[in-house]
Amino acid sequence: MNILSAGFVCGDLVLAPVDELPPVGGNRFVQHAALTIGGCAANAAVGLARLLGTAGGRVALAGRVGDDPLGRLLHESLAEVDVDTGPLLTTPGVATAINTVLIASNSERSFYVFPGACAHLTAADLPDSLLCQFDHLHLGAIGALPGLAGAAAADVARRARGLGLSTSLDITLNPPRDSAADVLPLLPYIDLFLPNLSEAQAVLGPGDVDALLARGLARGMYLMGLKLGSAGCRLATFAEQTSVPAYQVAAIDTVGAGDAWSAAVIYGWRMGWPLAEIGRFANAAGALCTLHPGATAGMADVESIQRFVHSQTAGVADHPASP
């Protein structure tokens, strides 16, 4: 299985705890700080590399970083976790993106994002000669990439499908950009659409989970998955739906949990697993990610995730939902 993850790549500056901002001209001290791999596409690539592990296959990351120390650090750090950074391009004269992550005492997070070189990523950076090397294309953080949105992103997904790749999509809200305009043109060329609830509503319009799943599937995708935070997840195809509750863990922070979940859904779907098994596996991957600070340190391999699922089976079951 060879997978290309393309999209937002940045350094995450993680600060904790941050329960209030300082007054203008003032300061606050924090107890923990870390500079780590970040960005939806990079995080998903790390998660997928961990899942493929020793089974073979290639996970590569396509995006843009600056010609600066942070860009070089990301190349080195990604290579250390077996992510191929050959398609990760350097943009002279532009700084690497930075995502400042503020972790509250309840483990929830807020972000200040500097897009940097990511704003220069375009469809031309994902030519057919690159796409044809892979079995699956994952697009991460569409909505935060002005050069890879709407018709431009749809062109990439259409070409990938034409070359025989399966495709998946995770998105990011970036007010005041029009999320629907950024994302809707892609959906006819996407196999797996993996937003959270607020992202789905921004793209598909107001509504509850059932309405959103119906609208999403009507756009032509094979599977739509909704990340529902503490409520778990909902996965749906035209043939079936399943709701899977979240695993209760003592989270340190939730950075990267959604990306770990998406990587696990992609892996389970590509392996041909039943929908409920995919949901349990993905929720476990997300839960384990929250037990470590930062986005990627807690991304686990298949054996570790399955061991966690088995340890949690007592009292935790999936619930089939009506289509």
296, 302, 308, 312: CA torsion to nearest 10: 120
Q: Copy the structure tokens of residue 172.
A: 């990011």
Query: Measured between alpha carbons, how far is 260 from 45 in angstroms, rounded to an integer?
Result: 9
Angle 95-98-99 (CA atoms, 0-180°, nearest 5)? Answer: 165
Q: Where are the domains of the chain?
A: 2-20+31-321
**b (16+ CB within 10 A) / e for 58-85:** bbbbbbbbbebebbeebbebbeebebbb
Domain 2-20+31-321: CATH architecture, name and number where available: 3-Layer(aba) Sandwich (3.40)
Residues 6+ apart with CB under 8 A from 215: 204, 205, 207
Dihedral over alpha carbons 211, 197, 179, 16 (to 10 degrees) = 180
Tens of pLDDT along the chain (323 residues) come to: 999 999 999 999 999 999 999 999 999 999 999 999 999 999 999 999 999 987 788 999 999 999 999 999 999 999 999 999 999 999 999 999 999 999 899 888 889 999 999 999 999 999 999 999 999 999 999 989 999 999 999 999 999 999 999 999 999 998 888 999 999 999 999 999 999 999 999 999 999 999 999 999 999 999 999 999 889 999 999 999 999 999 999 888 888 899 999 999 999 999 999 999 999 999 999 999 999 988 888 899 999 999 999 998 754 444 444 33
Query: Measured between alpha carbons, how far is 172 from 185 in angstroms, rounded to an integer?
Result: 15
What angle do helix axes 302-311 and 275-289 make, rounded to 10 degrees? 100
Using the structure block, give the residue that is written with the tokens 């993905």. 282
